[in-house]
């Protein structure tokens, strides 16, 4: 029991830095889609905390601050139009079946936020994919309104990046993708906000640098290959990199220190699986959520990757397990 408590307390500073790193994305979500975005984040965190508290209290353990990381990530990858019941069902499912059922913090196999997102993506597809709010216009953006979901310009159908995939539109201007003034999930349309937080987690070693670098590099190379092969619907390297929340996934979702591998070679292989899976699913399947499925698939292979590479080195750990950014 003491070891479990020590594990939770040891990782609290890392989780606080992750929360801090996502603040630019939260602010961007308010700016582009209104104050409802902030309440989506708050309710997600509250429901996630309450779910974990029920189980942690029975075990006499503290609630880990990781629940707030999961709650914020889950909220930021929701559309700004998400109904409240869908939001709450998803985060409760994420914490209960993605984390607590495995034994709580440090024992989960899958990234809890991705488990919750996949659950609502399958169970509530209309709420998750059918309606998209436009970004708020003007210099003050959404700071003066509750939500853009009530705008007459609400889009019923696909997001701009989904239309590119279907060959029905050109890629949005790179400046729009960088700043984030496009329709999409509320906290990941702004590549600039993601990069600001991403630089922080990279420089402070809050997230593993090998995972971040390998995921991004592999993704860039594979998208470049699609361009060279003239694959229909391939958006190009920069639109693919800046659009669809890929960078958010690379910095904040793929790097979950619990569900990712521990050894350096395994982390590289794990990252390649995520990047390759994302490219394949986004470009050759009916789903647009390629990164979400790829992270979950890679989570499934993480333990066997660690086992394989440790076996090849005679059981020695060629990567220290402590520290998210080592």
248 neighbors 108 (Cβ within 8 angstroms): no
User: Span 54-60, mean pLDDT?
Assistant: 83
* pLDDT at res. 320: 47
Half-sphere exposure of 90 (CA within 13 A, CB side): 35
* pLDDT at res. 318: 46
User: Span 64-87, mean pLDDT?
Assistant: 94
Q: How many C-beta neighbours within 10 Å does residue 59 have?
A: 13
29 neighbors 143 (Cβ within 8 angstroms): no
pLDDT at 14 over 80: yes
Q: Which long-range contacts (CB under 8 A, 24 or more apart) does 215-224 make?
A: 215/249, 215/250, 215/254, 215/271, 215/274, 215/275, 216/241, 216/247, 216/250, 216/275, 218/271, 218/272, 218/275, 218/276, 219/246, 219/250, 219/275, 219/278, 219/279, 222/275, 222/276, 222/279, 223/279
Domain assignments of the chain as residue spans, ordered by start: 2-312
CATH 3.30.1370 fits 2-312, yes or no: no
* 18, 26, 52, 119 from 5: Cα distances, Å: 20, 30, 14, 29
* pLDDT at res. 160: 63
Residue 323: pLDDT band with limits 50, 70, 90: very low
More confident residue, 272 or 137: 272
Q: What is the pLDDT of residues 177-206, one digit of tens each?
A: 899 888 888 989 999 999 999 999 999 999
- pTM for this prediction: 0.90
pLDDT at 223 over 50: yes
Which segment, 85-94, 126-135, 256-265, 307-316, is predicted with the most confidence on average? 85-94
* pLDDT > 70 fraction of the chain, expressed in percent and rounded: 87
Look at the alpha carbons of 44, 49, 50, 55 in this order and tell me if their dihedral is positive or negative. positive
Q: What is the pLDDT of residues 89-140, one digit of tens each?
A: 999 999 999 999 888 888 889 999 999 999 999 999 888 887 888 888 888 9
156 bridge partner residues: 131
DSSP SS3 for 156: strand
Relative orientation angle of helices 66-76 and 2-21, to the nearest 10 degrees: 40
């Amino acid at each position: 029991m003491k070891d479990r408590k020590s594990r939770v307390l040891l990782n609290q500073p890392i989780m606080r830095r992750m929360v801090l790193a996502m603040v630019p994305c939260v602010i961007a979500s308010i700016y582009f889609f209104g104050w409802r975005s902030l309440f989506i984040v708050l309710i997600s965190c509250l429901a996630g905390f309450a779910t974990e508290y029920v189980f942690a209290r029975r075990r006499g353990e503290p609630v880990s601050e990781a629940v707030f990381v999961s709650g914020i990530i889950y909220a930021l990858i929701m559309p700004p139009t998400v109904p409240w019941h869908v939001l709450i069902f998803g985060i409760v499912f994420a914490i209960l079946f993605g984390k607590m059922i495995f034994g709580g913090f440090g024992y989960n196999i899958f990234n809890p936020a991705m488990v919750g997102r996949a659950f609502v993506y399958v169970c509530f597809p209309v709420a998750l994919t059918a309606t998209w709010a436009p970004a708020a216009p003007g210099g003050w953006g959404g700071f003066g309104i509750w939500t853009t979901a009530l705008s007459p310009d609400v889009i019923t159908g696909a997001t701009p990046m989904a239309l590119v995939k279907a060959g029905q539109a050109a890629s949005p201007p790179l400046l729009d993708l960088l700043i984030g003034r496009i329709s999409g999930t509320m906290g990941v349309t702004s590549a600039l906000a993601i990069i600001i937080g991403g630089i922080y987690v990279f420089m402070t070693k809050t997230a593993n640098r090998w995972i971040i670098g390998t995921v991004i590099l592999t993704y860039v190379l594979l998208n470049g290959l699609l361009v060279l092969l003239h694959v229909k619907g391939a958006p190009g390297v920069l639109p693919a990199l800046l659009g669809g929340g890929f960078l958010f996934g690379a910095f904040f979702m793929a790097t979950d220190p619990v569900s990712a591998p521990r050894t350096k070679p395994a982390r590289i292989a794990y990252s390649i699986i995520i990047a390759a899976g994302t490219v394949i699913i986004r470009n050759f399947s009916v789903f647009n959520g390629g990164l979400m499925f790829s992270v979950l698939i890679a989570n499934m292979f993480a333990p066997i990757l660690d086992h394989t590479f440790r076996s090849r080195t005679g059981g020695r750990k060629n990567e220290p397990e402590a520290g998210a950014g080592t």
